[in-house]
Amino acid sequence: MSSNNKKLIIFDVDGVIFKSQLLLSFSRYSGILNYLKAMYLCFLFCINSLNIRVLLERIYINIKGLKEDDLWRVYHKMKIVQNAEETIREISKKGHVVALISSGVPDFLIKDLTDKLHADCGYGIVVEIKSGVCTGKIGGSLSYSEGKIQIVEEMLKKRNMTWDDVVVVGDDRNNLDIMELAKVSIGFNSYYPVRKRAKYLADGNDLRKVLDFINIENEPTFDELSAGLEHESSSARGQELRRKGIHTCALFIPLLAGVNYMLALELLLAITVVYAVSECARLNGVCFPVLSYITSSCVRSGERRRFAFAPVTLALGVLLSLVLFPTLIAYVTIAILACADSLATIVGKFYGRIRIPYNHKKSIEGSAAFFITALICAAIYLPLKTALIVSLVSCIIESLPVNHDNITIPLGTGLFLSLLI
């Protein structure tokens, strides 16, 4: 970090400042066929089958003939993420330099956006306009893969700064080159390649979230660190409660199965498929209506960069219980999975002190909560003596150092109970 502690904060535009992609909006304005072509080209770019230059050339040649007024009209309709201007103002007040850099947005539109958001500078691609009409030709260094590095290095040289002074906020793989060179990289609603490699992640519709990470890198005081840790602990507690609240919803499946068995299975499968699609969308910075909000508020910090499999294994555990076991056994195993496992996680995570010798990830307190809850659930359906034995066996299975206990608990408990009765 430079001695003056000044940073160069670089924001990508499409997907970071704009909620959506301006290139796709141009294509949609020029016709549905061009829009579908643009979506296909963007997909090829995302999977690394197309470089940025070819992507831009093909999209802009497809919108050839659009008037300059049309480009402005589409630009003015673009929705900007919440608190974009406020975030940039706050960064500037701290003495940092804010730059908007885009490899897809025309330079004359970037300049207007720079003024509107009160950024220090902005750079876009050169789009040829003749007689007020887009010719489809593009130019400028930003239309090439190495363009962003060149622009940033010019800015650093001009301001006597280094890459250690750079913070990059981006969303797609076209930002990876400068993100890897920068001191700090922040993925904002990022696609999977960026999500895997960015130092920090921020999701949602509020750009102010990136301020927390910029401030972290600016030698926070002890009070700021303490407040941050307290907030993180409170968030983790709320997240875990929401997560296990959804976990207990598995109790409704046996109730539905009692009314219509096939409908319960079909609904469970449908929810699992929709969830899987939603997770793939989340990992690529796309919000899936309703479900993405629920998922993002429940995923643990370690799951933000990967697929969260817990809901899938939960659904599979419930499904296997219904298919493999008689009704009574299925109801017992699902009740134990939904309630006992949820309470064990909450108690163990926040109040567990004594580790289990053969599994240090779990605690005696959590296992005790599991046993008591499992006993209550089992006693609803079984004689007390049988419920005690089943609860103990289920508690032992839950404590084992194995992955995917959403599957091992109902299967192990169900098989033991089948042998017992």
For the chain, which residues make up each domain, given as ranges? 8-219, 236-420
C-alpha count within 13 angstroms, C-beta hemisphere, residue 402: 12
Res 408: pLDDT: 94
Q: Which of 359, 326, 335, 309 is nearest to 409 (CA)?
A: 335
> pLDDT in tens for each of the 421 residues of the chain?
344 578 999 999 999 999 989 999 999 999 999 999 999 998 888 888 889 999 999 999 999 999 999 999 999 999 999 999 999 999 999 999 999 999 999 999 999 999 999 999 999 999 999 999 999 999 999 999 899 999 999 999 999 999 999 999 999 989 999 999 999 999 999 988 898 889 999 888 899 999 988 876 655 444 444 444 444 444 556 677 777 788 888 889 988 988 899 999 999 999 888 888 888 777 776 666 666 666 666 666 666 677 788 889 999 999 999 999 999 999 999 999 999 998 998 898 888 889 999 888 899 999 999 999 999 999 999 999 999 999 999 999 999 998 888 999 999 999 999 998 7
Between CA 377 and CA 382 the distance in angstroms is 9
Which helix (H) or strand (E) covers residue 279, if one does?
helix 261-282
C-alpha separations of 62 from 57, 59, 134, 229, 354 in Å = 9, 5, 10, 51, 65
Count other C-beta atoms under 10 Å from residue 382's C-beta.
21
Task: Order across the sheet with 8-11: list the strands.
Answer: 133-139, 121-130, 97-106, 8-11, 166-170, 184-188, 200-202
CA nearest to 366, candidates 348, 342, 391? 348
Determine how many CB atoms are found less than 10 A away from the CB of residue 37.
15
Interacting residues of 385 by C-beta distance below 8 A, sequence separation 6+: none
Per CATH, domain 8-219 is 3.40.50.920: no
Residue 287 is classified by DSSP as P
Q: How many angstroms separate the CA atoms of 367 and 387, rounded?
A: 16
Q: What are phi and psi of 67, to 5 degrees?
A: -75, 155
**How far apart, in Å, are the Cα atoms of 157 and each of 4, 151, 152, 234?**
15, 10, 9, 43
State the residue for tokens 């307290």: 230
pTM for this one? 0.73
Among residues 292, 335, 308, 316, the alpha carbon closest in space to that of 408 is found at 316
